[in-house]
Amino acid sequence: MGKMTWPKLRRRWYFLGGLLVALLLAWIFRAPILTGYANWFIKDNATKGADAIIILSGSKTTRVHKGLDLWSKGYAPSLFLTDERKSLNAKYRHLQLSNLKFARQVAMEDDINATFVVIPSLVDGATSTFDEAADALAFSKERKWKRIIIVTDGFHTRRALLAFEKVFDDSGVEVQAAAVPNDVFDATNWWTSDRGISSFVLETIKYPVYFFWSEEPTVVRND
């Protein structure tokens, strides 16, 4: 093995020093860097005058409340829910509240006289955002809607919009998103909680899949 020359040794030290400086700067500025990273996933562009507010399945305790808030403020005249796939464990299925029953109870607790309608599923219950988008598109065509607002968790909005825009392409129906705030973390502190880390790490993995596919991939089951 040849003897290490001074120029080679110096280049290695420069590289190591630059790496250490980069890591130090990343640590010092971790808060704005990670906050900016999280904000990239969040889209919140809902405006008043839509035909419908569609609350996507999942995180019922926060999404339903957000949908009711938008409806109360006049963003759209009607509230809708997507139809998710039923639990595979039939023995305890009766213990779960459906999207519709839960939404009605939330409206009752908040003393809001709102009516919810479940969008029929084309595939025996949606298992992905692509499925929900396909269901919403068929329903939108029947109702001749021009613009809808989808309600989902903030970290999920960019991916949800991507799925809906792909499915709704050339339909003439505009899709906007209403970001639901999380009760545990937000963009400024998500890396300090397990739930925040798992949410944004999963979005980091899932978004490229939605970017390259135009429907739910069948490589991995999603039920």
Q: Please tell me the pTM assigned to this model.
A: 0.85
pLDDT in tens, the chain (223 residues): 455 565 666 677 666 767 776 777 666 777 899 999 999 999 999 999 999 999 999 888 899 999 999 999 999 999 999 998 765 555 666 657 788 898 999 999 989 999 999 999 998 878 889 999 999 999 999 999 999 999 999 999 999 999 999 999 999 999 999 999 998 999 999 999 999 999 999 999 999 999 988 776 665 445 4
CA distance 206 to 204: 6
User: Which residue(s) pair with 126 in the sheet?
Assistant: 84
- Only one residue has tokens 């980091």, namely 204
179 close to 203: Cβ distance less than 8 angstroms? no
Provide the pairing of β-strand 174-180 with 147-153: parallel
